[in-house]
Every structure is written in structure tokens, then in C-alpha cells.
Amino acid sequence: MKKLLISILIVLVCVTGCGKVPKLENGQDAAVTLKNTDISIDSLYEKMKDKYALSVLLDMVDTEILNKEYKDSDEQKENIEAQITAWIAQFGNEASLLQQTRSAWGIQTMEELKEYLKLQYKRNLAVEDYAKKSVTEDEIEKFYKEEIFGDITARHILIKPKTTTDMTPEEQTAKEEEALKTAKEIITKLKNGESFEQLAKDNSDDEASASKGGLLDEFTHGTMTKEFEKAAKNLEVGKYTTEPIKTTYGYHIILKVNQKDKPELKVVKDDIIDEIAQDKLSKDTSLQIIALEKLRKEYKINIQDKNLKTQYENYLTNAKANANNQPQ
């Protein structure tokens, strides 16, 4: 690390036009010479070490480890290109983007940015793999029993509250109540024997399904909002919800048309592991720190510089504490 930072400093000295790096009386290389005083590269390194060395060190260590653990892939390349394209669209052009990355991360070129994004991409892969490995068979069995179900075919009638952003809270509440009242009136009509399909065509605010009598594409776990999914799963085939189901879209009346058999565990096990792992990561962000810490230990990281070693230990302690204190 010291050699890396010193080599950077020597380059900076050389580009000023000198033929060689001047020596100070104590034998150290000079970073800057001034009237009546000099600053050595060693003293400059000591100052820089406290601010930048740990970050540079971890990037170097993780790059070395993760390039062994994860080969470059087309998906990785596409992900990085998509991110850069989105940022260029946001900032206007490459020059403006690099101005931002220079200020935020000290990244000067597009190649440096791509290397940085590649490192972050592989760090995310390592974190996700760590979370997946932490998923237990009991957790998988529980999720399968409680959450997984066979594909459902359903119809629905959606009543959206006619709210706008410029309404007062009182006006928005009134529109919510109006939508709820309309949904309940439709349920009353269903109880009186009116056709679900016709009521959907006449009343549903879901334009994509209204013309089809409210018929939705077949869906399974994770396709719909949680409230909609739970209500549909708990219905008997041929029954409809006798109370409106509220989601972020509005109020739904759901008719369950058909349901297939539940898939075998082996068919959906990988998807279950992925979902449980993502849930763990969202609930405990310290796992992002722990995963990389564990991987470095597997590669027997041993920071020789005592100052940097202390910085690393403090970084781990503080990062985990801050992660656990973040609002969920």
C-alpha cells in the first residue's frame, strides 16, 4: 500500500518537469520543496494513509479475491453498461458524469468507472451468495408451506380513488371513502346475483382486464401485491371477496376462477432461497459487511501495517453498528 501511494506521489513530482526526485537531508524523497521547509513523500504518505489508504487497500484486496471467485460475464457487462447509460442520460454527457464521479469517488476516466462498477457488481454477488448460504432447510420448508401455491386464475374489479396530488388530505380521504363505498355497492350487486363479468366491464378501472370481464393472466407467488395475493390464495374456487381488498392501486373485488396444484418443493426451491436471502439482506444490512469480511478471512487477509489494521477493525465495528441502526 505504501509503495502504491508513494509511486503515485513520485509520478506527481515527476510531471512537474524534474529529471529525478530530489532527496532531503534525512535521505527521504521529497514530495514538495519550499523555502525554509520541505515535505517528504514519507510524511505525505502518513497523512494520506489516515484518509485514503484503507479504502484503496480494501478495493485492491476485494478485486483480487472477487476476480478469483467470480468470472466476468455478459450479465455483468450488460449491467455495467446499463448503469453508465442511465447516468449519462441523467447528467447529460460523459464529461458531466466524470465530473460527478471525480468529486464523489476520485474516478477520472470511463475505464476507471467501469472497473469500479465491476468491483461493486462482484461484491453484490458475494453478499447475495453469503445470504443464500445462510438459508436453512427449516426456513425453506416453512416458506414453502405458508407462501407457495399453485397458479391461480382470477377476475377482479378495481375501483381507484380519484385523487390528485394537488388535493388536500381531507379531499383525498373523501375520494378514498367514495371509492370504498363504490366497491361495497358492487359487492352488494354480486350478492343480488348480477354478473361479475358484466360488473367488471361496466365499473373496473383496470383497463387491461375490464374488457375481458376482469380476467387476469394466471399468476403465482410474488406476481401480485401481497394483499391481492393473500386474498386470492385464501378464496375457494368460484368464490369472490365479500369485502374490498385495498392495495396501492385501489380497492379490488376478486373472483377466484381456478387454481392449479401446488408445485413440488424441488421445482421452486431455488426461487424460495433467493427470496428468503433477499428478505434477510433487507432486514439486516450488516450482512453486506459481514459477507465480505468472512470472504477476506477465507483468503487469510492479514494487514501488516498496525495503523491500517486498527482502521480496518474500527471500520468493521462501526459499519455493522451503523447498518443495524438504519431505519428499515
pLDDT for res 1: 46
What pLDDT is attached to residue 305?
Answer: 85
**First-residue to last-residue Cα distance in the chain:** 37
Q: How far is CA 168 from CA 152, 172, 173, 241, in A?
A: 39, 6, 9, 31
pLDDT given for residue 53 in this prediction: 84
Q: What is the pLDDT of residue 257?
A: 98
The per-residue pLDDT for 140 is: 98
Which residue type occupies 112? E
Residue 221 pLDDT > 70: yes
Residue (of 112, 118, 239, 114) closest to 187 by Cα position:
239
Residue-level pLDDT at 85: 96
Where residue 70 falls (left for φ over 0; alpha for ψ -120 to 50; beta otherwise) is beta
Query: Residue 28: which pLDDT band, with cuts at 50, 70 and 90?
Result: low
